Copies of this chain bind each other. A is one copy, B any other.
């Protein structure tokens, strides 16, 4: 989201920072990766990091941005699939997979989605719009409760992502998602 700098050394520094942040997010998670660590890994001073990205949200948005955009694009494709009764669940599953990509991302995503401002919040709004479109189609086919809203669906997806982040076995994600879709009560 943040604009590309003009000077070539600045562009190189920026690229290195995003690369270092991505690597550290991958290794230790969003929270444990400190700004100073990221700057050190990129081989620049802390001031340079703060100059390129005003806060951690901006940096996070840069790292996960492309993946979030892909989600909106995926939403545009899915409803075309020939009457798959589970296309909504598939998309939500993809959303959960994205949020669990880095440890700690669920919290940042939830906060950004609530305030809806900042570079990450803007991305969340786009995802919410995509969800709203899918939800409408699912509703027409009677595949979801009529009163379910897009923010609620996303909040549930984020909650599932958070829960499988703190859980021990990683395969529980699908199970939790199933429980949310089918409900705790018997159908």
Contacts and interface: CB of A to CB of B under 8 A. Distances in A.
Interface of A: 107, 110-111, 114, 142-146, 148, 152-153, 155-156, 158-160, 162-163, 166-168, 172, 175-176, 179-187
Contacts of A176: 152, 155-156, 159
A179 B156 contact: yes
Contact of A163 (B155, B179, B187): B155
State the copy count for this chain.
Answer: 2
Contacts of A187: 183, 185, 187
A144 to B, nearest CB: 6
A107 B166 CA distance: 8
A142 B186 contact: yes
Contact of A182 (B107, B110, B152, B185): B185
A184 B181 contact: yes
A37 B69 CA distance: 42
A42 B143 CA distance: 55
Given A158-B163, A163-B158, A176-B155, A145 B111 contact: no
A185 B167 CA distance: 25
A186 B146 CA distance: 8
Contacts of A155: 163, 167, 172, 176
B111 A184 contact: no
B180 A152 contact: no
A168 B162 CA distance: 18
Contact of A179 (B107, B148, B175): B148
B114 A145 contact: no
A163 B159 contact: yes
Nearest to A135: B184
